[in-house]
Amino acid sequence: MLSLLKRSAWAWGPALLAALAFSAALPGGFLMIDDDWLVSENPWVLQASWEDIRHILDPLTTRLEFGKGYLPLRDLSYSLDAWIWRSGQALLGLGWSLSLVCHLTQTVLYALDAFLVAVLVTRLTGRRAWAFLAGAVFALHPIHAEAVCWISSRKDLLGTAFVLASALAWRGHWVAGGLRQVLLY
């Protein structure tokens, strides 16, 4: 992973563009469409005790608090945001709001997605200039605004990151040999 970051240092350009483009959303609050019952008023997310985490991970418990959907990675990421928010207040005395932490996570995830797009295009084409352009178009395209600015759309950002990482692993599998090929598979 560290070698990927070193070899792809130029791909941080699209990631930086993504972060700058959506930095205006950072001070935004929660939208009272889904953000309130999914994050800001959800006791399973806000407290994040071991019992709450077990509830989030258990597919057989009631899912009414989470929109009747089983999306444990999304819900755990909200719990992590709440933990960071509580820790920032208690340990560091930061006056950050929970919505700021959530928006910051959204922006970082989107920047990661733009980075992965640029790296994947490089691996597929071998051309860094084309990959930078593809990553920049991805980073600045307005169709992603909802996924980045609406906290309840975090599943889209997480899903994109895993699809792109899987595509990179698939590409690595086909060009690798021996044990590395088996591990990437």
Write out the chain's pLDDT in tens, 185 residues: 566 566 777 788 899 899 999 998 888 888 777 887 788 888 878 887 888 888 888 888 777 767 677 888 888 899 899 888 888 776 666 778 888 999 999 999 999 999 999 999 998 998 889 999 999 999 999 988 989 988 889 999 999 999 999 999 888 777 776 676 667 66
Which pTM does this prediction carry?
0.86
What does the DSSP assignment read for 59-97? Answer: TTS--GGGTT---HHHHHHHHHHHHHHHHHHHTT-----
